[in-house]
Protein backbone atom coordinates (compact mmCIF):
# COMPACT_ATOMS: atom_id res chain seq x y z
CA UNK A 1 0.00 0.00 0.00
CA UNK A 2 2.86 2.36 0.90
CA UNK A 3 4.57 1.55 -2.43
CA UNK A 4 1.37 2.33 -4.38
CA UNK A 5 1.05 5.68 -2.59
CA UNK A 6 4.65 6.46 -3.44
CA UNK A 7 4.01 5.71 -7.12
CA UNK A 8 0.94 7.96 -7.10
CA UNK A 9 2.96 10.80 -5.58
CA UNK A 10 5.66 10.35 -8.23
CA UNK A 11 3.00 10.37 -10.96
CA UNK A 12 1.53 13.61 -9.62
CA UNK A 13 4.94 15.21 -9.11
CA UNK A 14 6.14 14.37 -12.62
CA UNK A 15 2.67 15.01 -14.14
CA UNK A 16 2.63 11.82 -16.23
CA UNK A 17 0.18 9.00 -16.85
CA UNK A 18 0.62 5.45 -15.53
CA UNK A 19 2.29 4.05 -18.66
CA UNK A 20 4.82 6.86 -18.83
CA UNK A 21 5.57 6.44 -15.13
CA UNK A 22 6.49 2.79 -15.73
CA UNK A 23 8.67 3.76 -18.69
CA UNK A 24 10.41 6.45 -16.62
CA UNK A 25 11.17 4.04 -13.76
CA UNK A 26 12.51 1.46 -16.23
CA UNK A 27 14.67 4.12 -17.85
CA UNK A 28 16.11 5.08 -14.46
CA UNK A 29 16.83 1.44 -13.64
CA UNK A 30 18.34 0.44 -16.98
CA UNK A 31 20.23 3.71 -17.32
CA UNK A 32 21.79 3.18 -13.90
CA UNK A 33 22.74 -0.42 -14.77
CA UNK A 34 24.29 0.65 -18.06
CA UNK A 35 26.17 3.42 -16.28
CA UNK A 36 27.60 0.99 -13.69
CA UNK A 37 28.59 -1.54 -16.36
CA UNK A 38 30.29 1.11 -18.50
CA UNK A 39 32.17 2.51 -15.49
CA UNK A 40 33.58 -0.90 -14.58
CA UNK A 41 34.57 -1.62 -18.20
CA UNK A 42 36.45 1.66 -18.47
CA UNK A 43 38.34 1.02 -15.21
CA UNK A 44 39.46 -2.38 -16.50
CA UNK A 45 41.69 -0.58 -19.00
CA UNK A 46 43.44 1.39 -16.24
CA UNK A 47 44.88 -1.69 -14.49
CA UNK A 48 44.16 0.03 -11.16
CA UNK A 49 43.56 -2.45 -8.37
CA UNK A 50 40.35 -2.21 -6.43
CA UNK A 51 40.80 0.07 -3.51
CA UNK A 52 40.21 3.65 -2.42
CA UNK A 53 41.51 5.14 -5.69
CA UNK A 54 39.46 2.68 -7.77
CA UNK A 55 36.29 3.51 -5.81
CA UNK A 56 36.86 7.28 -6.14
CA UNK A 57 37.43 6.97 -9.90
CA UNK A 58 34.38 4.74 -10.22
CA UNK A 59 32.18 7.31 -8.44
CA UNK A 60 33.49 10.10 -10.70
CA UNK A 61 32.94 7.99 -13.81
CA UNK A 62 29.36 6.98 -13.06
CA UNK A 63 28.54 10.58 -12.12
CA UNK A 64 29.70 11.65 -15.58
CA UNK A 65 28.23 8.67 -17.42
CA UNK A 66 24.81 8.57 -15.74
CA UNK A 67 23.16 11.43 -17.70
CA UNK A 68 24.46 10.04 -21.00
CA UNK A 69 23.29 6.50 -20.23
CA UNK A 70 19.86 7.64 -19.08
CA UNK A 71 19.35 9.73 -22.22
CA UNK A 72 20.42 6.79 -24.40
CA UNK A 73 17.95 4.45 -22.71
CA UNK A 74 15.21 7.08 -22.83
CA UNK A 75 15.08 7.00 -26.65
CA UNK A 76 13.64 3.48 -27.10
CA UNK A 77 11.31 4.01 -24.13
CA UNK A 78 9.94 7.24 -25.60
CA UNK A 79 10.98 9.33 -22.59
CA UNK A 80 13.69 11.55 -24.08
CA UNK A 81 11.66 14.78 -23.64
CA UNK A 82 10.99 14.01 -19.97
CA UNK A 83 14.64 13.20 -19.16
CA UNK A 84 15.93 16.18 -21.10
CA UNK A 85 13.79 18.43 -18.88
CA UNK A 86 14.65 16.41 -15.76
CA UNK A 87 18.42 16.60 -16.32
CA UNK A 88 18.14 20.29 -17.15
CA UNK A 89 16.46 20.94 -13.79
CA UNK A 90 19.13 18.88 -11.98
CA UNK A 91 21.89 20.85 -13.71
CA UNK A 92 20.26 24.19 -12.87
CA UNK A 93 20.07 23.24 -9.21
CA UNK A 94 23.68 22.03 -9.14
CA UNK A 95 25.00 25.11 -10.96
CA UNK A 96 22.96 27.53 -8.85
CA UNK A 97 21.06 28.99 -11.79
CA UNK A 98 17.91 29.17 -9.70
CA UNK A 99 19.53 31.59 -7.26
CA UNK A 100 17.68 34.88 -7.24
CA UNK A 101 14.72 33.57 -9.25
CA UNK A 102 12.41 32.73 -6.42
CA UNK A 103 10.77 36.14 -6.46
CA UNK A 104 10.57 36.46 -10.24
CA UNK A 105 7.15 35.98 -11.90
CA UNK A 106 6.30 32.55 -13.22
CA UNK A 107 3.51 31.87 -15.68
CA UNK A 108 1.81 28.50 -15.59
CA UNK A 109 -0.44 28.38 -18.64
CA UNK A 110 -3.49 26.24 -19.35
CA UNK A 111 -4.25 25.71 -23.03
CA UNK A 112 -7.94 25.16 -23.83
CA UNK A 113 -8.54 23.33 -27.12
CA UNK A 114 -11.27 21.25 -28.74
CA UNK A 115 -9.72 19.69 -31.85
CA UNK A 116 -6.50 18.59 -33.51
CA UNK A 117 -4.41 21.09 -31.56
CA UNK A 118 -2.10 22.53 -34.22
CA UNK A 119 -2.01 25.90 -32.44
CA UNK A 120 -1.50 24.20 -29.08
CA UNK A 121 1.44 22.27 -30.52
CA UNK A 122 3.10 25.47 -31.78
CA UNK A 123 2.61 27.16 -28.41
CA UNK A 124 4.06 24.18 -26.52
CA UNK A 125 7.06 24.05 -28.86
CA UNK A 126 7.63 27.80 -28.60
CA UNK A 127 7.80 27.85 -24.82
CA UNK A 128 9.41 24.43 -24.30
CA UNK A 129 13.08 25.43 -24.26
CA UNK A 130 12.84 29.19 -24.60
CA UNK A 131 11.43 30.16 -21.23
CA UNK A 132 12.38 28.91 -17.78
CA UNK A 133 9.73 31.19 -16.28
CA UNK A 134 6.86 30.09 -18.53
CA UNK A 135 5.43 26.58 -18.47
CA UNK A 136 2.46 24.80 -19.98
CA UNK A 137 0.89 23.29 -16.88
CA UNK A 138 -2.36 21.87 -18.28
CA UNK A 139 -4.28 21.12 -21.46
CA UNK A 140 -8.04 21.44 -21.03
CA UNK A 141 -10.29 19.79 -23.59
CA UNK A 142 -14.03 19.22 -24.03
CA UNK A 143 -13.57 16.37 -26.54
CA UNK A 144 -12.22 13.01 -25.27
CA UNK A 145 -11.22 12.04 -28.83
CA UNK A 146 -9.43 15.30 -29.72
CA UNK A 147 -5.97 15.13 -31.22
CA UNK A 148 -4.69 17.77 -28.81
CA UNK A 149 -4.75 15.15 -26.05
CA UNK A 150 -2.11 13.13 -27.93
CA UNK A 151 0.03 16.24 -28.27
CA UNK A 152 -0.22 16.82 -24.51
CA UNK A 153 0.68 13.19 -23.76
CA UNK A 154 3.73 13.34 -26.02
CA UNK A 155 5.05 16.30 -24.02
CA UNK A 156 4.02 14.88 -20.63
CA UNK A 157 1.54 17.71 -20.03
CA UNK A 158 -1.39 16.86 -17.73
CA UNK A 159 -4.84 16.97 -19.33
CA UNK A 160 -8.26 17.84 -17.98
CA UNK A 161 -11.24 16.57 -19.96
CA UNK A 162 -14.33 18.61 -19.09
CA UNK A 163 -18.09 18.21 -19.52
CA UNK A 164 -20.47 21.01 -20.47
CA UNK A 165 -22.87 21.07 -17.49
CA UNK A 166 -20.22 21.60 -14.84
CA UNK A 167 -18.18 23.92 -17.04
CA UNK A 168 -21.01 26.20 -18.13
CA UNK A 169 -23.34 26.09 -15.13
CA UNK A 170 -21.14 24.89 -12.29
CA UNK A 171 -17.73 25.92 -10.98
CA UNK A 172 -16.08 26.05 -14.42
CA UNK A 173 -13.47 23.57 -13.16
CA UNK A 174 -11.89 26.48 -11.33
CA UNK A 175 -10.76 24.26 -8.38
CA UNK A 176 -8.75 22.05 -10.78
CA UNK A 177 -7.17 25.07 -12.46
CA UNK A 178 -6.18 26.60 -9.13
CA UNK A 179 -4.89 23.26 -7.86
CA UNK A 180 -2.64 23.06 -10.93
CA UNK A 181 -1.33 26.57 -10.24
CA UNK A 182 -2.74 28.02 -13.48
CA UNK A 183 -2.40 31.81 -13.66
CA UNK A 184 -2.98 32.39 -17.38
CA UNK A 185 -5.30 30.77 -19.94
CA UNK A 186 -4.80 30.50 -23.69
CA UNK A 187 -7.72 29.48 -25.91
CA UNK A 188 -6.49 27.63 -28.99
CA UNK A 189 -9.47 26.40 -30.97
CA UNK A 190 -11.73 26.02 -27.95
CA UNK A 191 -15.37 26.06 -29.09
CA UNK A 192 -17.32 26.60 -25.87
CA UNK A 193 -18.22 30.01 -24.48
CA UNK A 194 -16.42 30.75 -21.22
CA UNK A 195 -18.55 30.94 -18.07
CA UNK A 196 -18.48 34.13 -15.95
CA UNK A 197 -16.78 32.27 -13.09
CA UNK A 198 -13.62 31.86 -15.20
CA UNK A 199 -13.71 35.38 -16.63
CA UNK A 200 -13.93 36.83 -13.12
CA UNK A 201 -11.21 34.54 -11.78
CA UNK A 202 -8.80 35.44 -14.60
CA UNK A 203 -9.41 39.09 -15.54
CA UNK A 204 -7.29 40.06 -18.58
CA UNK A 205 -5.52 36.73 -18.21
CA UNK A 206 -7.44 34.77 -20.87
CA UNK A 207 -6.67 35.30 -24.54
CA UNK A 208 -8.24 33.82 -27.65
CA UNK A 209 -7.41 33.62 -31.34
CA UNK A 210 -10.13 33.97 -33.97
CA UNK A 211 -9.62 32.88 -37.62
CA UNK A 212 -11.01 36.11 -39.12
CA UNK A 213 -10.94 39.86 -38.64
CA UNK A 214 -13.04 41.03 -35.73
CA UNK A 215 -15.49 42.48 -35.02
CA UNK A 216 -17.08 41.79 -38.42
CA UNK A 217 -16.74 38.01 -38.53
CA UNK A 218 -17.30 36.94 -34.96
CA UNK A 219 -20.09 35.60 -32.82
CA UNK A 220 -21.85 32.32 -32.16
CA UNK A 221 -21.33 29.79 -34.94
CA UNK A 222 -18.41 31.69 -36.46
CA UNK A 223 -15.66 29.08 -36.28
CA UNK A 224 -13.72 26.89 -38.66
CA UNK A 225 -15.11 26.59 -42.17
CA UNK A 226 -18.23 28.59 -41.25
CA UNK A 227 -16.24 31.78 -40.81
CA UNK A 228 -14.20 31.20 -43.97
CA UNK A 229 -17.39 30.55 -45.98
CA UNK A 230 -18.84 33.84 -44.69
CA UNK A 231 -15.72 35.80 -45.65
CA UNK A 232 -15.71 34.35 -49.17
CA UNK A 233 -19.47 34.74 -49.64
CA UNK A 234 -19.15 38.46 -48.85
CA UNK A 235 -16.42 38.75 -51.52
CA UNK A 236 -13.90 40.18 -49.09
CA UNK A 237 -10.44 41.08 -50.39
CA UNK A 238 -8.76 40.26 -47.08
CA UNK A 239 -9.14 37.99 -44.09
CA UNK A 240 -6.83 37.28 -41.20
CA UNK A 241 -6.54 36.51 -37.51
CA UNK A 242 -7.59 38.42 -34.41
CA UNK A 243 -6.01 37.81 -31.02
CA UNK A 244 -8.04 39.31 -28.17
CA UNK A 245 -8.75 39.11 -24.47
CA UNK A 246 -11.72 36.82 -23.85
CA UNK A 247 -14.90 37.75 -22.02
CA UNK A 248 -18.38 36.25 -21.55
CA UNK A 249 -19.35 36.82 -25.20
CA UNK A 250 -18.22 34.90 -28.29
CA UNK A 251 -15.29 36.60 -30.04
CA UNK A 252 -15.61 39.72 -27.93
CA UNK A 253 -13.16 41.60 -25.78
CA UNK A 254 -10.25 43.96 -26.36
CA UNK A 255 -8.30 43.18 -29.53
CA UNK A 256 -4.57 42.72 -28.91
CA UNK A 257 -3.26 41.95 -32.39
CA UNK A 258 -4.45 41.36 -35.96
CA UNK A 259 -2.70 40.09 -39.07
CA UNK A 260 -4.13 39.89 -42.58
CA UNK A 261 -3.84 37.83 -45.74
CA UNK A 262 -5.10 38.51 -49.27
CA UNK A 263 -7.88 36.44 -50.82
CA UNK A 264 -7.38 35.07 -54.33
CA UNK A 265 -10.22 35.35 -56.91
CA UNK A 266 -10.71 31.57 -56.76
CA UNK A 267 -10.30 31.30 -52.97
CA UNK A 268 -12.08 28.43 -51.21
CA UNK A 269 -12.71 27.79 -47.53
CA UNK A 270 -10.02 25.12 -47.60
CA UNK A 271 -7.32 27.31 -49.19
CA UNK A 272 -8.23 30.23 -46.95
CA UNK A 273 -8.00 27.98 -43.89
CA UNK A 274 -4.42 27.10 -44.88
CA UNK A 275 -3.49 30.79 -45.12
CA UNK A 276 -5.07 31.45 -41.72
CA UNK A 277 -3.20 28.53 -40.14
CA UNK A 278 0.09 30.03 -41.35
CA UNK A 279 -0.77 33.34 -39.67
CA UNK A 280 -1.89 31.62 -36.47
CA UNK A 281 1.26 29.52 -36.14
CA UNK A 282 3.51 32.45 -37.00
CA UNK A 283 2.01 35.01 -34.63
CA UNK A 284 0.08 33.44 -31.75
CA UNK A 285 3.00 32.16 -29.61
CA UNK A 286 4.90 35.44 -29.99
CA UNK A 287 1.83 37.52 -29.10
CA UNK A 288 1.26 35.36 -26.01
CA UNK A 289 4.85 36.05 -24.98
CA UNK A 290 4.40 39.79 -25.53
CA UNK A 291 1.24 39.84 -23.40
CA UNK A 292 2.93 37.91 -20.59
CA UNK A 293 5.87 40.34 -20.54
CA UNK A 294 3.46 43.21 -19.90
CA UNK A 295 1.58 41.48 -17.08
CA UNK A 296 2.20 40.36 -13.54
CA UNK A 297 1.11 36.71 -13.23
CA UNK A 298 0.01 37.09 -9.62
Mean pLDDT of 223-232: 84
The answer to whether the beta carbons of residues 159 and 153 sit under 8 Å apart is yes
Output the CA–CA distances (angstroms, integers) from residue 37 to 28, 30, 34, 82, in the order listed.
Answer: 14, 10, 5, 24
The answer to whether the beta carbons of residues 140 and 110 sit under 8 Å apart is yes
The angle at the Cα of 33, spanning 27 to 36, to the nearest 5 degrees, equals 135
CB atoms within 10 A of CB 178: 11
- Tell me the pLDDT of the chain averaged across its residues: 86
Domain coordinates in residue numbering, the chain: 2-95, 107-294
Q: Given 2, 131, 200, 210, which residue is catalytic?
A: 210
> pLDDT per residue over 63-104, tens digit each?
898 888 988 888 888 888 888 877 877 777 766 554 444 444
> pLDDT per residue over 165-208, tens digit each?
999 999 999 999 999 999 999 999 998 889 999 999 999 999 99
CATH of the structural domain 107-294, one choice from 3.40.50.170, 3.30.200.20, 3.50.50.60, 1.10.10.60: 3.40.50.170
210 classed as catalytic: yes
User: Measured between alpha carbons, how far is 111 from 44 in angstroms, rounded to an integer?
Assistant: 52
In this structure, are strands 238-245 and 159-161 parallel, antiparallel, or unpaired?
Answer: unpaired
Amino acid sequence: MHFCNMLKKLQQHWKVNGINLVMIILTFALGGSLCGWAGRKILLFTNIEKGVVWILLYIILITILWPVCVLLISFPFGQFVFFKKYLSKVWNRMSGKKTGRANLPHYNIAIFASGAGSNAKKIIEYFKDKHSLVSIGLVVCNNPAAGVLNIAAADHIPVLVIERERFSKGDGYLPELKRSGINFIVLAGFLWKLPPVLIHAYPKKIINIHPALLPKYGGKGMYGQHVHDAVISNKEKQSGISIHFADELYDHGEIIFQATCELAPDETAETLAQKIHVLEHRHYPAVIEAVLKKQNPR
